[in-house]
Amino acid sequence: MLQQRSIQSSQSLRDKILSFDYVLIFSILVLGIISMFAMYSTDGGEFKYHTNSHILRFFVFFGMFFVISLIQIRFWHEASYLIYFTFFLLLLGVKYFGLTSSGSQRWLNLYFMNLQPSELMKIGLILFLAKYYHRISIENINSFRHLVLPITALIGPVILVATQPDLGTSILIASGGIVVAWLAGVRPKFFIYSGVAMIALLPIAISFLKPYQKSRILTFLNPERDPLGAGYQIIQSKIAIGSGGLFGKGFLNGSQSYLDYLPEKHTDFIFTLFSEEFGFFGSLFILLLYALIISRIIRIGNMTRSNFGKLYCYSFGTAFFIYVVVNMMMVLGLLPIVGSPLPIMSYGGSSMLAIMFGLGIVMSCKIYKDVPVN
């Protein structure tokens, strides 16, 4: 114990800074800069509101990322439950005091920004479950008694978010939680049973869906069903990406985007815009950049000694992967339009905050990789 403490205390600030994963930091920075150019293009080649505020947010939260990295992983472990409950309370707050926009109540007005707690909950749930599964012994993992708490912790926010309504984010929150449970060693058959139960409950769930959500799913199955209505987004996104070809139409020349054929180009469809302007090679570059970021996160998971760190890094890396893939599949017409931002690239403060927060904890795992958490 003493030795361990000495390891920890022997780390000077200089050591800590030297032990940053610079490949990861560099990748994030490159992606951030690319996202600024993309945002500049959505504003029609001018520094307007979206570009300016995106740049500001990126740098503010990038700075926050470093602060979080330098805080002991032990602290994050200790604070996990508290963080989860804080976010949960914020979600409850949304239910009662939230701002409503386009029929959905997702935001809290914090005066300097509109916070979307469901984005934060993506990280909160992973933290909570990582700590939970870190603490219980391996024998207990599959005992029914020990499944109750994680299931409750997962279902609570998922229901709150789904009823905002925000189907996309609630699914992404759930997927993060499921990944932790899977990594912790919950038996495969449990996932199969829940899957079967989900399918059985699907008709009931569908009856709770809003008409626009139903129409999105039907439209995904056949976009030409309603080319000017719900299918419009998928069709226009495919046209934009396809027309980009190998090398793209060039920076600021994405006609689909600047002529407003592309919907939600700042947020969910930012990849479409980029892909239209920079073509197949540009898209491949973005894809590789994300692969690099994710592999660095997983690598940090490998290096971390604590199971909390491993669970957290693996789960966050996988969740990050899911966010990226769901968004891309959506804009490529492989998934229904559910509304999920592309990490770092998309415009949106809460998403940026959540991702940088999550990455910060990953970096903290790297710096304090040899420090046991309990």
Q: Two tokens at 6? A: 């000495």
* 307 interacts with other proteins by CB under 8 A: yes
Task: Please state at what angle helix 117-135 crosses helix 144-162, rounded to 10 degrees.
Answer: 180
* 275 interacts with other proteins by CB under 8 A: yes
Residue whose CB is less far from other proteins, 170 or 283 = 283
Q: How far is CA 59 from CA 20, 32, 250, 344, 353, in A?
A: 18, 9, 26, 11, 11
Of 18-26, 119-127, 314-322, 361-369, which part binds other proteins (CB under 8 A)?
314-322
| CA angle 342–346–350, rounded 5-degree value | 95
* 330 interacts with other proteins by CB under 8 A: no
Residue whose CB is less far from other proteins, 169 or 283 = 283
Of the chain, the end-to-end C-alpha distance in Å amounts to: 10
Which residue from 167, 241, 293, 356 is in contact with other proteins, where contact means CB under 8 A? Answer: 241
Which residue from 245, 250, 253, 370 is in contact with other proteins, where contact means CB under 8 A? Answer: 245
Residue whose CB is less far from other proteins, 91 or 294 = 294
Report the alpha-carbon distance of residue 144 to residue 282 in Å, rounded: 48
Which residue from 13, 204, 221, 246 is in contact with other proteins, where contact means CB under 8 A? Answer: 246
* 45 interacts with other proteins by CB under 8 A: no
Strands (E) across the chain are located at: 99-101, 104-109, 114-115
* 194 interacts with other proteins by CB under 8 A: no
Do the beta carbons of residue 157 and residue 88 sit within 8 Å? yes
Residue whose CB is less far from other proteins, 256 or 267 = 256
DSSP-assigned states of every residue in 269-292: THHHHHHHHHHHHHHHHHHHHHHH
Residue whose CB is less far from other proteins, 160 or 241 = 241
* 284 interacts with other proteins by CB under 8 A: yes
Which residue from 226, 280, 289, 292 is in contact with other proteins, where contact means CB under 8 A? Answer: 280
Report the alpha-carbon distance of residue 52 to residue 10 in Å, rounded: 41
Which residue from 30, 64, 287, 292 is in contact with other proteins, where contact means CB under 8 A? Answer: 287
Beta-carbon contacts of residue 234 (< 8 Å; ≥ 6 apart): 219, 220, 223, 333, 337
Report the alpha-carbon distance of residue 21 to residue 24 in Å, rounded: 5
Which residue from 311, 338, 356, 359 is in contact with other proteins, where contact means CB under 8 A? Answer: 311
Which residue from 33, 89, 199, 334 is in contact with other proteins, where contact means CB under 8 A? Answer: 334
Q: Which residues bind other proteins (CB under 8 A)?
A: 3, 137-138, 179, 182-185, 236, 238-246, 255-256, 259-261, 275, 279-280, 283-284, 287, 291, 294, 298, 301-302, 307, 310-311, 314, 318, 321, 325, 328-329, 332, 334, 372
